[in-house]
Amino acid sequence: MKFRKLGKSGFDVSEIGLGCWQLGGDFVTVSEDRSQRILDAAANSGINFWDTADVYGGGRSEALIRKYCDGNAPEVFVATKVGRDAELYPDGYTKAKVRINLEGSARRLGVDTLDLVQLHCVPPEILKAGDLLAWMEDFQAEGLIRAFGASVETIDEAMMAASHPGLASLQIIFNLFRQDAIDRLFQVAAANGVGIIVRLPLASGVLGGKMKPGQQFDPSDHRNYNRNGEFFSQGETFSGVPFETALGFVESLRTHLPENMSMAQMAMRWILDYPAVSTVITGASRPEQVLENAGASGLAPLSEELHGKFAEFYRAQIAPSVVVPI
């Protein structure tokens, strides 16, 4: 596993991180035993950046991470989030309430100081007002958090936060279906010492190349209940590309698959070819998926020719099909 700096946080994080939403059981059933095996596979693969949130399973994800860490003491950075709890979202933000949520995360994770706290897709007007970022600075000075960042839904929101002097990271949607950050964000982030954390590298799994037309998802899976943005931003589900359309794009991309690479590895290697990216957080419902994802760090970069073809295909075909603000 290779490592990169996470912006001004100074953390050396693995190029491939572990997304821990699934450990909360919000959209896929992952038993406690399997969750521990997933975390073990990540630790043994050199994945030292684990991403969770206070609302994942109502804290279950954080608690399962603590259980693993208490028994194994891995050297990992755990990034959590704040801002989507029902007491806060969309307009109940106060410094006292945010502190309560952060202290709850610290308690569930079994730490005195949280490694990285990310504002969790808070409303743009709240982010722009700046109070939350100022409070993060105060919590950092108190020692409750080591570093803070923001997880956002659009490039405009990312640009809004990027210039804040204390911001260490931005978590964004960036994948073969969402390429705009290359021209609009990366240079600004690098100039401000902001690390880029990429989520949805496989666009809710569709870029893994294994889904089929007409595929059905469990009623509890956001790829079922949020397909049209019924509960949160549609951009979080298949990156805002209609499912059947996305499948067609995947087949076009598959024609360029390098030898000895899976579709998932090609999609993640494409992301890692951009130096502005610090880490790519990948979810896994089985330990075997963790191992495949981790392998992307050791693959050779894709050719400039292939990058050019993917950029052209995005501009001509994919971008016009994204149904949410990018």
Work out how many domains the chain is built from and give that number: 1
Kindly give the parts of the chain with pLDDT less than 70: none
Query: Which tens digit of pLDDT belongs to each residue from 151-191?
Result: 999 999 999 999 999 999 999 999 999 999 999 999 999 99
Q: Is 21 in contact with 42 (CB distance < 8 Å)?
A: no
pLDDT at 26: 78
- Phi, psi dihedral angles at 122 (to 5 degrees): -75, 160
Spatial separation of the C-alpha atoms in residues 144 and 155, rounded to whole Å: 29
Neighbour-count burial for 56-70, b at 16+ CB within 10 Å, e otherwise: bbebbbbbbbbebbe
User: Does residue 161 belong to any structural domain of this protein?
Assistant: yes
User: Does residue 295 belong to any structural domain of this protein?
Assistant: yes
pLDDT at 25: 84
pLDDT at 280: 98
Q: Is 1 helix (H, G, I), strand (E, B) or coil?
A: coil
Spatial separation of the C-alpha atoms in residues 249 and 236, rounded to whole Å: 18
User: Does residue 18 belong to any structural domain of this protein?
Assistant: yes
Q: Inter-axis angle of helices 243-254 and 304-313, to 10 degrees?
A: 150
- Phi, psi dihedral angles at 197 (to 5 degrees): -105, 120
- Runs of H (alpha helix) within 192-303: 222-225, 243-254, 263-272, 287-294
pLDDT at 221: 87
Q: And the tokens for 95?
A: 């410094």
Spatial separation of the C-alpha atoms in residues 230 and 200, rounded to whole Å: 19
User: Does residue 116 belong to any structural domain of this protein?
Assistant: yes
**What are the angstrom distances between the C-alpha of 9 and each of 3, 50, 75, 125, 200?**
14, 15, 16, 26, 22
We report the CATH number of the domain holding residue 256 as 3.20.20.100
Q: And the tokens for 117?
A: 């706290």
Query: Which tens digit of pLDDT belongs to each residue from 288-325?
Result: 999 999 999 999 999 999 999 999 999 999 999 999 99
Q: pTM (2 decimals)?
A: 0.97
Q: Is 140 helix (H, G, I), strand (E, B) or coil?
A: helix
Strand partners, 14: 3
Q: And the tokens for 80?
A: 């959590």
User: Does residue 326 belong to any structural domain of this protein?
Assistant: no
Spatial separation of the C-alpha atoms in residues 12 and 151, rounded to whole Å: 19
pLDDT at 282: 95
Q: Which H or E run includes 184?
A: helix 181-184
For residue 44, give every residue at least 6 positions away whose Cβ sits within 8 Å of its Cβ, in sequence order, or none. Answer: none
Place of tokens 């043994």: 44
What residue numbers bound the domain in which 136 lies?
A: 3-321
Beta strands in the chain (DSSP E): 3-5, 12-14, 16-19, 49-51, 77-82, 114-120, 145-151, 169-173, 195-199, 277-282
Spatial separation of the C-alpha atoms in residues 213 and 324, rounded to whole Å: 22
